[in-house]
Structure formats: structure tokens, C-alpha cells
Amino acid sequence: MKSFKDIFNTDFSVVNSAHARVNLIGEHTDYTGGYVLPSLLNFKTTIQISKNENKKYQVYSEHFNEQINFTDFIKSKNNKWVDYVKGSLFVFYDENKNIPNTHLNIYISSTIPIGRGISSSSALCVAVLKSLNSFFNTEYTEKHIAILAQKVERNYIGVSGGIMDQMVSSIGIHRKAFFLDCLSLKFELIDLPDNWVFCLVDSAVQRNLRDSAYNERYNQLKKAEEYLGTEYLGSIKPGQFDQNKIKDELILKRARHVITENARVLEAKGYILNKDIKSFGKLMNESHQSYSKDFEASTEDVDLIVERSNTSGAEGARLTGGGFGGFTVSLIHKNNYYEWKTNMSKYYDNKNIFEV
């Protein structure tokens, strides 16, 4: 493996990391002003930076073993990984018009599986922005870094994403659940339950269409808000939901997922605080059903993992992240863990099963 020095022939001056996340419950609720409950994973992306003296930005990705040089921030035509770096630079300089354009060497290393719904892209943006923050001494709060990282997705990449991934990646702590009110951005860090394990299983389903499918769901939910005459679906409790107001069957299903999901997140938070973990597991299953049937964001392979996980001894399981493939997350009591893992290994390669 090549080091920063091997690539750029100089030492780096700042280094920062940002972690991936697993969402325990609360899918597509963030951009509708609702609640989410993710937790930080051990997987992380690390960025090393130094000044570049050749009037170029030089970015190297260890994962792709590829170096890309540029002098402006124009988005590449083929959606390359480097767009997230260009976008972070673009947003950072846009916020800091007083900072003269300074060319940089940037080295990316990462342990995060890419395109699996555990927010590899947000971790990349947060890590780059944290490094720029250190390099230029801009003294941004972690929350502000999360807001800037969201701008990269929205204004540069063109995905109408919410704020969950960036907030938890920037502020979260490993082994703590991160309860976030996505409207006020108030959050609480809650201990994960003792004697229980959360496990990821990789469906290995490619999420190629995820950006277009994600934006389609986003637009459907905005339509639902119009039908219901509300700014945010997140403000509607299941008991106040007047289903007759939505004339379009598809939009109705999408809205029903979000409105019931928000209620589940609030309930799930209560269960985790009261250490009623079995009830938490039950909500994970309900969440998956709603995500699969009403939101139609699951796949057959993913539904099968969820089913097998539950029959192998999990207390609950669901698809995590933006949808259409990627990882599932299962909740297992420590006493059942060995049996669960042995059973799941019959169907899935051990290298696709990770403990959170």
C-alpha cells in the first residue's frame, strides 16, 4: 500500500477521520422533518492533507488506487468518487470567500464498504470538511460541518438527501444510539443495550439506481405534503393522518410509511431508554415491513435476509439506509448470537456479516 509520502513526496500536515453509520430505525424520515435513530460504526474514512506547490489539486484514493488532478471544481461527467472531494472544496470555499484558493494534496483511505447504505459518501464529505476546517483554522462546530456536508450532496452531487448521515458521522459516538430531531437538529446520545448485539449482513445487491430512486421517493413525499397541506410530514401523528386527503394510492403508501415510521422511532427511543429491547426488535420488524411494502424500497434478496435472520434467532431485522439493496441490520441477544451466526453462515459468506 502506498503512503501519503509515496504519492506526494512530502509529509501531510493535517489528518481527520469520519465514520460510517448504521440506521437502527427511521428511514426517509429525515428530510420530512422527522426523527431518526442511527449509530456510528467502526468503519471510517481518513483524509490527509498538505499544501500543493504545483498549482493543482491532487487527490489520491487508496481504495481505487487512482490519482486525479484538477484545477477547478467542475463535476466530472461520469459521477466519479472525486466529485465528493470537489464538492466539499466547492462548498468550503463558497462559505469562505476571504480564504484565497489554496491548492492541496489530498489522500483518502477508507475501511467503509462503498454503496451499501451505510453512508460512505457522507463520511467522505465530513472527513474532507473536517480536514479543511483544521487546515484553514475555520473553527467550525461539528454541527456546521454536517450542514456543509449536506450541501455537497444537495447542491453539488444532486441528491435531495436529508441530514441524518452527516450529523451522526460528524457528532456520533461508537456504541451509542444517536437520536436526532431532524428539524431542530437537537440530538441525544443513548447507550446501546448491554447483552445485545446489532449485526450487519451485506445483501451484496448493487445500488446502481439508488440516486434516481431516492430522488423519486423524495418527490413523492413532497407531493404527499402538498396533498395534506403541511410543510412537513414529520409533524403529523398517525392519529391525525387523514388518508382521504391523498387521492393517489402510491403517494398514500409512501406517506403512510413515513408517518408510521416517525411514530416507531419515538417509541423505539423509549424502549431503548427503558431497556425493553424485545419491543425494540418488534419495531425493527414493523419498520422493515413498512419500508418494503409501503415504501417499496427493499428487494427480494433483502427481504429474504430479514426473514432468515429472524428465523435464525434475531429479535428483529430490517434494511438499513437509503434502500434498494445494501446492508440489513439485525438485533440479537448475546445468548443467541452463536446459533444465529452459525445459521446465517449457511446462506451468507462470513465476510459479509459484521458486528456493529
Task: State the catalytic residues.
Answer: 165
- Closest C-alpha among 88, 171, 90, 83 to residue 129: 88
Does 27 sit near ligand GLA (CB under 6 A)? Answer: yes
**Do 178 and 20 touch, CB atoms closer than 8 A?**
no
Return all residues near 156 (Cβ < 8 A) that are at least 6 apart: 75, 83, 86, 87, 90, 91
CA distances 234 to 32, 178, 324, Å, are: 5, 18, 23
- Nearer residue to ligand GLA within complex by CB, 23 or 309: 23
CB of 225 to ligand GLA, least distance (A): 15
Out of 87, 172, 322, 325, point to the residue binding ligand GLA (CB under 6 A). 322
Does 28 sit near ligand GLA (CB under 6 A)? Answer: yes
Pairing, β 57-61 against β 104-110: parallel
CB of 321 to ligand GLA, least distance (A): 5
Does 225 sit near ligand GLA (CB under 6 A)? Answer: no
Grid coordinates given for 278: 424485545
CB of 163 to ligand GLA, least distance (A): 6
Does 268 sit near ligand GLA (CB under 6 A)? Answer: no
- Nearer residue to ligand GLA within complex by CB, 27 or 225: 27
Give the dihedral of Cα atoms 340, 342, 345, 351; nearest 10 deg: 90
- Closest C-alpha among 290, 328, 288 to residue 309: 328
Does 211 sit near ligand GLA (CB under 6 A)? Answer: no
- Nearer residue to ligand GLA within complex by CB, 119 or 352: 119
Binding mask 152-191 for ligand GLA (x = CB under 6 A): ---------xx-xx--------------------------
Binding mask 103-142 for ligand GLA (x = CB under 6 A): ----------------x-----------------------
CB of 299 to ligand GLA, least distance (A): 15
- Nearer residue to ligand GLA within complex by CB, 58 or 220: 220
Q: Which stretch binds ligand GLA (CB under 6 A): 5-13, 26-34, 60-68, 83-91?
A: 26-34
- Nearer residue to ligand GLA within complex by CB, 106 or 126: 126
For residue 295, report the phi and psi dihedrals to the nearest 5 degrees.
-90, -20
**Which positions lie near ligand GLA, rule CB under 6 A?**
23, 27-28, 30-31, 119, 161-162, 164-165, 321-322
